[in-house]
Amino acid sequence: MQRGGRLGDTCRAPIHPTAQSDFCPQTKPLNPTAHGELEHRLGLVFQDFRYKRRAYKALAGAVQVPTESYDDLGPVGEDKRWETFGKLHEYLEATFPDVFGKLEVAKVNIYGIVLRWKGSDASLRPVLVTAHQDVVPVEPATVHEWIHPPYSGYFDGEWIWGRGSCDDKSDLVASLHAIDALLKQGFKPKRTFVWAYGFDEEAAGTEGAGRLATYLEGQYGTHGFELMLDEGGSYGTPYGDDVIFAVPALSEKGYLDIRIEVTTKGGHSSVPPKHTAIGMLSSMVVAIEDHPHEPALVRGGSPYNFTMCAAVYGPEYPSHVRKLALKAAYGDDGALDGLRDSLLETFPRFEAILRTTQAVDLVQGGVKVNALPEKVSAVVNHRIAEHSSVWELQKHITDTIRPIAKKYDLRVEAFGLQVASGSGKGGRVVLSDAWGTALEPSPVTPTGKDTPYQILAGTIKATIESSEGYQTSGVKGVVVAPLLTIGNTDTRYYWNVTKNIFRYHHLHEKDRYNGAHTINEAVRAEGWLESIRFHTKFILNVDGNL
C-alpha cells in the first residue's frame, strides 16, 4: 500500500483513493457480513421496478403535504398552522402501516414522532436517527417560476418535484422505507434503534427537536445513545470525476444574532442634529462590515482535516494549494498561513468555513418623516467559526462599536455590562443577544480507530461502491473527507444525547435539481433510492459491528 508520508511524492500528485495516507486516514468499505444474506435479498427488492415506483410514490405523497414552518408560529396547540403536520402523520401511518404498527410509537409535543425498534440485547446502547418533517415556505411571488407546482410531488420519469424533496422529506421517507424493508424481511435487531422526527427545524427547532431531545435524554440518560445520524453533508466529485468525495459533517458552527439598539433624543426634523440615530446606527453597520472576523486554519480542526484529504486524494486539486497543504502537514507554520490564504482565494466557500460570518439582516427605525427617530436598531446574524466562541464574538463587536459610540458621546451597554465609552449625553447604544439563542460551536465528533465514525465511513464507501453503474463509471474510488456544516441543524439540541453526532445526507450533488430553499427543488428519483440503500446498510452495519 502506498502511504502519503513522503513530501516529495504527494506534493506533485495525488495518491490513489484506495491507498492510505497518514494525512487523511481512510476506512475500508464496510458491508454487513453478519447480515450478508439479508442484504442480498434486500438488493433484489430494491432493484425491482414495482418497488421503485412505490418508493417514488411514497416520497411524492409526503411532498404534497405543505408542512411549512414559520418564524412567527405560536405554541403547538394554539397556532392552527401546526395542524398540517397532523395530515402528514395520517399519510405516513397509512403509507407505512408495518412501521407504525410494529414499532413502538410516541408523540412528543403532539407532532414530534419517536419510533423505537427494541433490540434483543439491552446491554448495547441504542442508535438514534433523525430527520425533520417541516419545509421552508414557498415565496408566493415565485410560484409561477416553478417548472412544476411546489407541492405537486410530480414525478416526470426522472425527477420528483416539490418543496421538501431534498430538504428533508427525502431523508424522512428514506429512513421509513429502510425500516419497512427490514421488517418485511423479518429482521430483528440486537441493538435498539430509535428514529426521532422533528417538525420545526427550519424555524427555531424548539417545539420539535428541542422537546424530542429532552424526552430522549429522560428515557436513556445523558450520552445514552451510541451515535446519532441527522441530515448534513453529501457526496460528489468536486476535484475531478475520477474520485468521489463523501463529506459528512462532524461539527457545526455556533450561532448568535446580535441586536444593536441606538437611543437618542427626539425632536422635530426641521431642526436636526448633525447625526440622527439612524445616521449613528449606519456608521456602526459600516464599521462592522469593514471589520470582518479574522479567518483561521487550525491544525486538527475540521477545515484543516478536510483540506488534507482534498490535497492528498483530489485528482484536480490545485497543485499550488496541494503543495502548501503538505508542507503545512509537516509543521511549516508559514505554509499553514499561506494555505489559509490560498484556500480563501481559490475556494470562495472557505470564506464561510474559516471565519465567523456576519450579515446585517434586519434594520428598524423611524415612525414619521418629520420626527427625529428616538430608537433604531439592527440585527446582525453570526455563524461562529469552529475555532471561536460566543465570548470572542461579543468582544469583537463591542470593540468595533466603542470608538463610534465615543465619537457620538453615546453610553455603551454590551451584553448586560457597562463599557467605557461616551458620557451618554448623546444617548446610548445597547448590544444584546437578539432572541436569546446564543449557541457555541458544537463539539467535534471523534474519528479514532475504534469510534462509531469508522462504521459510518465504511458504510458510505460500501454503499457508493456497490451502487448500480459504479463499476462502469470510471471512478477510481471513494474518499470520506469530514468537514463541518456552516448552518445549524436540529443536532444542536442533541449534544447531551451522544458524543457521536454525524450530519450526512446520502445523495449525490448531481441528484439535486436546484438545491434546497429555492425554486424548483427536486430530487433525481434513482439517486434518491441510494438513500434507502444507505439507511438499510447503516442499520445492518451498526447492528453487526458496534
- List the grid coordinates of 523: 430530487
- pLDDT of 11 reads 56
Give 241's contacts (C-beta < 8 A, 6+ positions apart): 474, 475
Q: What is the pLDDT along the chain (546 residues), one digit of tens a residue?
A: 334 444 444 556 788 998 999 999 999 999 998 899 999 999 999 999 999 999 999 999 999 999 999 999 999 999 999 999 999 999 999 999 999 999 999 999 999 999 999 999 999 999 999 999 999 999 999 999 999 999 999 999 999 999 999 999 999 999 999 999 999 999 999 999 999 999 999 999 999 999 999 999 999 999 999 999 999 999 999 999 999 999 999 999 999 999 999 999 999 999 999 999 999 999 999 999 999 999 999 999 999 999 999 999 999 999 999 999 999 999 999 999 999 999 999 999 999 999 999 999 999 999 999 999 999 999 999 999 999 999 999 999 999 999 999 999 999 999 999 998 999 999 999 999 999 999 999 999 999 999 999 999 999 999 999 999 898 899 999 999 999 999 999 999 999 999 999 999 999 999 999 988 999 999 999 999 999 999 999 999 999 887
Letter string b/e over residues 88-111, b meaning 16 or more CB atoms within 10 A of that residue's CB: bbeebeebbeebbeebeeeebbeb
Query: Which of 498, 452, 444, 490 is closest to 224 using CA atoms?
Result: 498
Residue list, annotated binding site:
132, 167, 202, 230, 517
Q: Which amino acid is at 445?
A: T
For 150-206, the three-class secondary structure string (H helix, E strand, C coil) is: CCCCCECCCEEECCCCCCCHHHHHHHHHHHHHHHHCCCCCCCCEEEEEECCCCCCCC
Query: Which of 197, 189, 180, 195 is closest to 118 using CA atoms?
Result: 189
Query: Which of 218, 222, 189, 199 is closest to 103 using CA atoms?
Result: 189
List the alpha helices (DSSP H) in 378-524: 390-407, 453-465
Query: Which of 133, 225, 144 is closest to 495 using CA atoms?
Result: 225
Report whether 70 contacts 137 (CB < 8 A). yes
Residues with a catalytic annotation lie at 134, 201
| Sign of the C-alpha dihedral computed for residues 483, 486, 489 and 494 taken in this order | positive
- pLDDT of 3 reads 42
DSSP character for 142? G
From first CA to last CA, the distance across the chain in angstroms is 27
Give 60's contacts (C-beta < 8 A, 6+ positions apart): 153, 154, 155, 160, 162
- pLDDT of 278 reads 97
Report whether 174 contacts 528 (CB < 8 A). yes
Which residues sit opposite 198 in a β-bridge? 132
Q: Is 330 exposed, middle or buried (0-12, 13-18, 19+ CB in 10 A)?
A: exposed
pTM for the whole thing?
A: 0.95
Q: Report the DSSP pairing between strands 427-433 and 410-414.
A: parallel
Residue list, annotated binding site for Zn(2+):
132, 167, 202, 230, 517
Peptide bond before residue 290 is cis, with ω within 30 degrees of 0: no
Letter string b/e over residues 343-378, b meaning 16 or more CB atoms within 10 A of that residue's CB: bbeebeebeebbbbbbebeeeebeeeeeebbbbbbb
List the alpha helices (DSSP H) in 6-111: 7-12, 36-47, 49-63, 84-95, 97-102
Backbone angles phi, psi at 180, to 5 degrees: -60, -45
- pLDDT of 6 reads 46
325: three-class secondary structure by DSSP: helix
Report whether 521 contacts 150 (CB < 8 A). yes
Cα Dmax for the chain: 85
- pLDDT of 330 reads 94
- List the grid coordinates of 350: 472557505
- pLDDT of 304 reads 98
- List the grid coordinates of 491: 443536532
- List the grid coordinates of 22: 497518514
Q: What is the dihedral of CA 333, 335, 340, 341, to 10 degrees?
A: 130
Report whether 230 contacts 130 (CB < 8 A). yes
Superfamily grouping for domain 33-252+442-545:
Zn peptidases (3.40.630.10)
**Cα dist. 322→8, 328, 338, 459 in Å?**
12, 10, 11, 28
Report whether 323 contacts 281 (CB < 8 A). no
